[in-house]
Amino acid sequence: MIENTQVQNKLAGKGAELELKLKTHFVDLASERVGGETLSCSDDFFAEMENLLKSGRGIFIDDKFTERGKWMDGWESRRSYGRDNGREFDWCIIRLGISGVIRGFDIDTNYFRGNAPQTVSVEACVSAQQPDEDTVWHTVLAKSEVAAHSQNIFEITNSQSWTHVRLNMFPDGGIARFRVYGEAQVNWNDFVEGELIDLASIKNGAKALLVSDMFFSDKNNLIMPGRGKDMGDGWETKRRRDPGPDWSIVKLAALGSVEKVIVDTCHFKGNFPDTFKLEGINTDSDNFDEVNAQLNWQTIIPQTRLYAHREHLFINELITDKSQQFSHVKLSIYPDGGISRMRILGKRK
Task: Read off the pLDDT of residues 255-264 as tens digits, 9 standing for 90 and up.
Answer: 999 999 999 9
pLDDT of residue 4: 47
Residue ranges per domain, the chain? 13-184, 191-346
Q: Please give the Cα distance from 214 to 182 (Å, whole number).
A: 22
Q: Please give the Cα distance from 67 to 71 (Å, whole number).
A: 9
Q: What amino acid is encoded at 93 in this protein?
A: I
31-71: per-residue pLDDT in tens?
Answer: 999 999 999 999 999 999 999 999 999 999 998 999 998 99
Closest-CA residue to 298 (of 273, 274, 325, 276): 325
Contact in structure between 166 and 137 (CB atoms under 8 Å)? yes
Q: In CATH terms, are 13-184 and 191-346 the same topology?
A: yes
pLDDT of residue 206: 96
273-308: per-residue pLDDT in tens?
Answer: 999 999 999 999 888 876 565 688 999 999 999 999
Average pLDDT, the chain: 93
Assigned CATH topology for domain 13-184: Jelly Rolls (2.60.120)
pLDDT of residue 12: 85
pLDDT of residue 82: 67
Q: What is the largest CA-CA distance in the chain?
A: 70
Strands 298-305 and 207-211: unpaired
Class of the CATH domain delimited by 191-346: mainly beta
pLDDT of residue 290: 60
Residues of the chain with pLDDT under 50: 1-5
